[in-house]
Structure 1
Amino acid sequence: MQVTETLSEELKRAYTVVVPAATLTERSDAKLRDVAGKIRLPGFRPGKAPLSLLKTRFGASVMGEVAEEAAQEAVKSVVADNDLRPALQPKVEVEAFEPDGGDLTLSITVELLPDFGEPDFSEIELDRDVAEVSDETVDEALQRMAEARRDSTPVAVARAATAGDIAVIDFVGKLDGETFEGGTANDFRLDLGAGQFVPGFEDQVIGMAVDETRTIAVTFPEDYGVETLAGKDTTFDVTLKELRAPVVPDLDDAFAESLGADSLDDLKQQIRDRTAEEYRKAGRDKAKRRLLDRLAERFTQAVPEGLVDVEFDGIWSQLMQAKERDMLEDDDKTKSDDELRAEYRAIAERRVRLGLLLAKVGEDNEISVSQEDIGRAVMERTRAFPGQEQLVLSYYRQNPQALEELRPQVFEDKVVDYILERAKVTERTVSVEDLMTPEDEAAETSAADA
């Protein structure tokens, strides 16, 4: 086998490989002899058919197999002999091949992984935002919990409905004099002043008396989710059947015990601990974003175009779907396709570069993802759906593929934590509002203030 390097550019190598006809013929004949011992041909005992007849009957297909095997061997040989680290499956093209006795000439193109060297992460400096959990925050959370578990009692005196009441109403909505789907309800409980209905509706219920019927005129918002109602003028025939006053439970040990806590102090501590964990995660997420930005500034090596193409195609597909649904970001709506392609191509390149860097750091430092890591990731997902924890757990138990889809993110997070442990990270106390503001929004706010 003769190998000639024809291209050597940064992350791309190309080779011409020639497999001599004699080698191909020798391998083909050996395969044909093996075939002869396994098949029966009319007039010949097994293994006794002449090679010439075998070539006539099976030569073309066997030579095709031999050529394919030779191509695979050529790729392995080129990669091993030149100590290459392919980023993608090498591209193989047949330049010339004559099954009846000619050489097999192949063109092999290989895209390589970039060399990130041995980075010193101790030179990276960044801030990690932290915030204190105030007593006020705990009290507000307690109050929300109490509000979520409030009851109500009938208003004992005859009076008009006021903000803060719970109005039990029947209503029939009409558009152009005709009822419409979803516009009718009985015994509907409306929190007056909560803004849970079409703008202007609650204001007109306020002042009604029990057993009073009133026709209310409202206009649905232009951006209302039901297209047939968006921006339309409608009327509602409303009957107030009952007024109820909300009853919020007292914040005491009994309330805490109803939520599974030992006491009110224990419940407060649980709230404080959960909130502190939310703050820690928010600070860690922002530190991760800052770290990735520092890495993107620091490592500017070229990356394989093939990987960038794959990443960009995925981004572009999602972008075009968003465009079809008129769900593009406002900034993107004003840009041409060429501008969008340039912008998102750069994003794809950044993602590929950072992904390869993190993968290399993980490989070099033997960072792996255990089943315990996956289990912790699942539990973290459950915390995002309060009250539905068992549903989330059941989903992952029944979907092994969903569990595996967590692995890349868990791996990335472990590598990021590894780097953060070695970088110069300074804790910076900030307000809760600043902590919870996404990094991009925070940057825009700072620029605007300046």
Structure 2
Amino acid sequence: MKVIQEKLPASQVGLEIEVPADVTQKAYDDTVRKLARTVNLPGFRKGKVPKQILIQRLGPNRIKASVLEDLIDDSLKAAIAQENIEALGNFQLKSSFDDLISAYKPGEAFTFKAAVDVPATVSLNSYKGLSFKAEKSEYDPADLDEFLTQKQRELATLVPVEDRAAQMGDVAIADYEGRYVNDAGEEEADIIPGTQAEDFSLDLEEGKFIPGFVDGFVGMKPEETKKFTVTFPEDYGNEEMAGKQVSFTVTLKELKSRELPKLDDEFASEATNEEFETLAAWQESLEAQLKENAEISTKNSVRRYLLEQLAANNSAELPEVSVNEEITAVLTQQMMEFSRMGIDVNRIFTKDMIPKLRETARPEAEQRLSNSLILTEIAKVEKIEIDTDKFNERLEEAKAELQEGFDEERLQEAIKEELTIDATLDWLEEQSEIEFVPAGTLEAEEAEAADEEE
């Protein structure tokens, strides 16, 4: 069998396959015999239809189509084996099937074209000594104070207020309704859908609602009704209301203040369900956790910008079959996250929405797959090995989480890949020149650049 290979984009190999004349004849004869045994024709017993009658009744093109379905599949498998091609998934026929039916003649050589996905090709150009910026998160004792203050607020006792006006920090129970303000500065008659509530509990704190809304309650007393106008932000989620002026009519029905509990051992025990008996022990644990969170944030930032550098300096040609598998993995992960949040995934991942969701997930899937392939290739080149004890520990953890119904061989391969990528990232970090900047610096620059681009 004559086979001509051609390298195609998207990690494919094109094949031009010439099937010998004797093979095309044998395939034809075998198909006719099979049809004669299986086809039911009026006036003939099953399996007793004469060859010429069969061809006449079914038509030569239908016969040839049946021949080619098996001939192409068998010839492609033979060509892949002959050329030692590591094919992934199914092949794609590049020749028109109708044209092939017309061109096919039993007993003559037959040529067709197809393409197969092959493992990704990774091109490593530069990955040592990379230079980039990353954000460094630092532990701030003020974060601990803020956390404890928030816990105090959560466990605070709400005390009715009757002898003063509302002020920031209070809790207001109110009715309200909103109406658009027209260009003439007049309030329209209709209430805007979604801007009406009764006995609504509102924390009088900055950032709790659109700018100006909370401020409108300050100075009000219980049973008082008041009107004030606010302007919705230009980037408000409801596009119809974005940038619009809305007049709110509010009635303050109740006003309450928070009586904060004391920061003592009793508070620590109550706030942590008796996990910590003393405030000092809880504070020590919280401080350690916040410091660890800062380290994790710094590490995530380093890896994010390191991966960006790798993607800019190296490349991977991705087979479509692998991209589709990664898209499925991305969507599966999203489904699991939604389920943990209590969201009904059946309302999101509908049959009609799946194609759109897959297309939306494609960029992330391609980037994840490309990153993984580049890192795996670097690990091979640099002979980076994983720690055996860490592997065994991670394997036992995974088994305990899965409990049953898993393929241990596949699980081991997945963990090995995970730890290899992790070790490679650590190795690359050691090889890189990193300039650390305060947390939020780079994200602010990116947001500003995005705004300018828009």
Find the counterpart in structure 2 of residue 141 from structure 1.
147
2:295 is equivalent to residue 280 of structure 1: yes
Find the counterpart in structure 2 of residue 250 from structure 1.
262
C-alpha contact 1:154 1:245 (8 A) present in aligned 2? yes
The correspondence for 2:310, drawn from 295, 306, 323, is 295
Matches within 5 A, 1:27-66: 27-37=27-37, 49-57=49-57, 60=60, 61-66=62-67
The structural deviation recorded for 1:272 is 3.1
TM-score by length of 1: 0.63
Find the counterpart in structure 1 of residue 170 from structure 2.
165
Deviations 1:112-151 (A, max 9, x none): 5554489997776888866553443322211122223322
C-alpha contact 1:121 1:422 (8 A) present in aligned 2? no
Matches within 5 A, 1:104-123: 104-109=110-115, 113=119, 115-116=121-122
State the distance in 1 between where 2:299 and 2:161 align: 49
Q: Structure 2 vs 1, CA of residues 362 and 182 (structure 1 numbering), >3 Å: closer, same or farther?
A: same
Find the counterpart in structure 2 of residue 317 from structure 1.
none
State the distance in 2 between where 1:429 and 1:9 align: 38
Q: What RMSD over aligned residues (CA atoms) do the two structures have, in Å? A: 5.2
Deviations 1:348-396 (A, max 9, x none): 98777545434667999999997955997x9xxxxxxxxxxxxxxxxxx
2:85 is equivalent to residue 76 of structure 1: no
> Structure 2: which amino acid aligns with 1:155?
V
Q: Structure 2 vs 1, CA of residues 256 and 14 (structure 1 numbering), >3 Å: closer, same or farther?
A: same
Unaligned runs of 5+ in 2: 180-186, 326-361, 406-412, 450-454
> What fraction of aligned residue pairs are identical, expressed as a percent?
26
Find the counterpart in structure 2 of residue 155 from structure 1.
161
Q: Structure 2 vs 1, CA of residues 265 and 180 (structure 1 numbering), >3 Å: closer, same or farther?
A: same
SS in 2 for 1:290: helix
Q: Structure 2 vs 1, CA of residues 285 and 83 (structure 1 numbering), >3 Å: closer, same or farther?
A: farther
The structural deviation recorded for 1:281 is 3.1
The correspondence for 1:434, drawn from 435, 438, 445, is 438
2:425 is equivalent to residue 420 of structure 1: yes
Q: Structure 2 vs 1, CA of residues 57 and 228 (structure 1 numbering), >3 Å: closer, same or farther?
A: closer
Q: Structure 2 vs 1, CA of residues 231 and 292 (structure 1 numbering), >3 Å: closer, same or farther?
A: closer
The structural deviation recorded for 1:297 is 4.6
> Structure 2: which amino acid aligns with 1:280?
E
2:112 is equivalent to residue 98 of structure 1: no
State the distance in 1 between where 2:364 and 2:192 align: 46
SS in 1 for 2:256: strand
Find the counterpart in structure 2 of residue 217 from structure 1.
228
Q: Structure 2 vs 1, CA of residues 256 and 412 (structure 1 numbering), >3 Å: closer, same or farther?
A: farther
Find the counterpart in structure 1 of residue 276 from structure 2.
262
Q: Structure 2 vs 1, CA of residues 104 and 361 (structure 1 numbering), >3 Å: closer, same or farther?
A: farther
The structural deviation recorded for 1:280 is 3.5
State the distance in 2 between where 1:257 and 1:347 align: 44
Find the counterpart in structure 2 of residue 67 from structure 1.
68
In the alignment of these two chains, the number of paired residues is: 380
TM-score by length of 2: 0.62
State the distance in 1 between where 2:8 and 2:434 align: 48
Unaligned runs of 5+ in 1: 312-344, 379-399, 401-407, 446-450
SS in 2 for 1:425: helix
Find the counterpart in structure 1 of residue 188 from structure 2.
176
Deviations 1:189-235 (A, max 9, x none): 44445353454444444333444x34323133253445565555554
Which protein has greater RCO, CA pairs closer than 8 Å, 6+ apart? 2
Deviations 1:63-104 (A, max 9, x none): 433322222233233333333345775443156433565442
Find the counterpart in structure 2 of residue 340 from structure 1.
none
2:16 is equivalent to residue 16 of structure 1: yes
State the distance in 2 between where 1:104 and 1:214 align: 88
Q: Structure 2 vs 1, CA of residues 26 and 173 (structure 1 numbering), >3 Å: closer, same or farther?
A: closer
